[in-house]
Structure 1
Amino acid sequence: MSHVVTLDRVTKAYGEVRALDEVTLAFPRGRFVAVMGPSGSGKTTLLNCAAGLDPPTSGSVVIGGVDLARLSETKRTELRRRHVGFVFQSYNLLPALSVQDNITLPLRLAGLRPDRSWLRELVARVGLGDRLRHRPPELSGGQEQRAAIVRALAARPDVVFADEPTGALDRGSATQVLDLLRELVDELGQTVIMVTHDPVAAARAHQTLIMVDGKVVGLLHAPSADDLAARLARLDGEPRMTSKGVPQ
């Protein structure tokens, strides 16, 4: 199985604090992987380094076979626009633009022509066909997040990074978004790496990485929400160790 993102002994230090501590991981193509851990465990730092948003202090990050350390900041930005999608808790849609224009904006910024048939399929899957001319303030939170997911997928990225994508949604809307993410992986072969604090959300992924103190201390395959909640509750009593977990 090919890997879309790999990290080799990645460390991210802020002064004396190591937000990531020699993390080695490989994320397979076509999988939904959740990342969990206590506050300050390094989850968001892992996502930022893996996505090329924040360069590591040491170690290497490879996306789609390209070592990010070999690229200038301009080239890293170009790579992200073409090969990486992002979904955030706050949606980050521009309120003055229509849903249609929000979806295609990253493509225009990258100088790419939209694949109209692909966008039609995505819009149909998320149920926003009758909302394309609306502006974000006219949508529900769940609809805004679904529009953000279409925007993230518009360029057919190798990987989508999602940072607490259901954190601002009610349970019903969150369930719809999680169903959509899992469907995109299972039916379209998309790769999704999702940071979340919610065991119910993480349980929708194929695997869940557990982080503590900048290290990966566990890898659970298809865990239930109860399994995850119990594991997180036990973390304070577990020994701290460096794990070179590789999702398979």
Structure 2
Amino acid sequence: MRESAGVRPAAPGVAGHAAGLRPGPPDVVIGLDRVTKVHRAGATAVTALDDVSLTVPRGTFLAVMGPSGSGKSTLLQVAAGLDTPTSGTVTVGGTDVSRLGEARRTVLRRDRIGFVFQGYNLLPAFTVEQNITLPLRLARRAPDGEWIRALVDRTGLDGVLHRRPAELSGGQQQRVAIVRALAARPDIVFADEPTGALDVRSSGQVLTLLREIVDELGQTIVMVTHDPAAAARAHRALIMADGRIVDVLHDPAAPALAARLTSLGGR
């Protein structure tokens, strides 16, 4: 990818460490170095990612967009260690995820990566507080009460900690999911269509919260979205087509994003 695109190509020290344990540059959270992912079904092979290289600096809010089948969801899955590349290297904070076995990838995801999904994925029988702290309890880690309290206050959830998800609005449920993703202070949060199930008002509130978390707390977020208005809240928007990165827009505006997607054949 072009250096001028703004999401930097993978560089020495970011990718390629054989042991997978050597730390990379402190300002780089995610690195992909010539990553290809091929899905095979019998004699059929589909290239979902085609020689993709990029780095995501710490404290970045990056949106990933593209037409259906462009590879954006596969990019998220591979970068997050949910899937392994067919070739190439994926690093999270200098750890070579692509060389780890499933057990170690599971530990890395639990300790260093947060996830926010369109469907919230909250446990209905648990209270808000129990949902927030569940991943920490499963990892046998004591919650950082001061940190979680700060997140709860920032997201306006302090009055609903005793409630269960069914008693909350969709926007409140998504805020619970965001606090849960941040509870362990992860290196990065991956958000997959986080506003896809929300109305316009709730969507705007969640997107404002995500941007504040990046700008004020220094968090790193990679968000996959089909919505130009959502992507316009990010620092940069990465555009994909046919498994490749075809453009990166800095401080993107929704009309420019919509036009770029239209030029690629849809949203």
Q: TM over 0.5, yes or no?
A: yes
Does residue 148 in structure 1 map to residue 173 in structure 2? Answer: no
**Structure 1 partner of 2:85:** 56
Q: Deviations over 1:208-233 (max 9, x none)?
A: 00000100000100011001011111
CA-to-partner distance for each residue in 1:4-30, whole Å, 9 max, x for gaps?
000011111012110001100100100
Residue 2 in structure 1 maps to residue 27 in structure 2: yes
Question: 5 Å matches for 1:17-96?
Answer: 17-96=46-125
Quick one: distance in 1 between partners of 2:138 and 2:37?
29
Q: Does 1:12 align with 2:30?
A: no
Which secondary structure does the structure 2 equivalent of 1:204 belong to? coil
Q: Report 1:39-188 matches (<5 A).
A: 39-188=68-217
In structure 2, how many angstroms separate the alpha carbons of the residues matched to 1:107 and 1:22?
Answer: 36
Asked whether 1:194 is paired with 2:215, we answer: no
Deviates more, 1:225-234 or 1:1-10: 1-10
- Structure 1 counterpart of 2:67, one-letter code: P
Range moving further from structure 2, 103-112 or 28-37: 103-112
Paired amino acid for 2:99 = R
The whole-number CA distance in structure 1 between the counterparts of 2:99 and 2:241 is 29
- Secondary structure class of the residue paired with 1:33: strand
- Give the Cα–Cα distance (whole angstroms) in 2 for the partners of residues 211 and 69 of structure 1: 22
Cα distance, 1:236 vs structure 2: 4.0
4+ runs deviating over 4 angstroms: none
Aligned length: 237
* Structure 1 residue 70: Cα displacement: 2.8
Q: Give the letter aligned to residue 9 of structure 1.
A: R
| In structure 2, C-alpha distance between the alignment counterparts of 1:199 and 1:214, rounded to whole Å | 19
Structure 2 unaligned regions, length at least 5: 1-25
8 Å CA contact retained: 2:81, 2:98: no
Q: Secondary structure at the match of 1:93?
A: coil
Match of 1:211 in 2: 240
- Where does residue 232 of structure 1 map in the other structure? 261
Indicate the structure whose relative CO is greater, using CA pairs within 8 Å and at least 6 residues apart. Answer: 1
5+ residue gaps, structure 1: 238-248
**Identity across matched positions, percent:** 67
Q: Deviations over 1:66-106 (max 9, x none)?
A: 00133221111111111000000000000000000000011
Q: CA deviation at 1:108?
A: 1.0
Task: Calculate the TM-score normalised by the size of structure 2.
Answer: 0.87
The Cα RMSD (Å) is 1.1
Contact 2:67–2:265, Cα closer than 8 Å, also in 1: no
Q: Aligned partners of 2:174, 2:206: CA distance in 1, in Å?
A: 7
Distance 2:88 2:190 in 1: 20
Cα distance in structure 1, aligned partners of 2:86 and 2:64: 21
**Could you state the TM-score of these two structures normalised by the residue count of structure 1?**
0.94
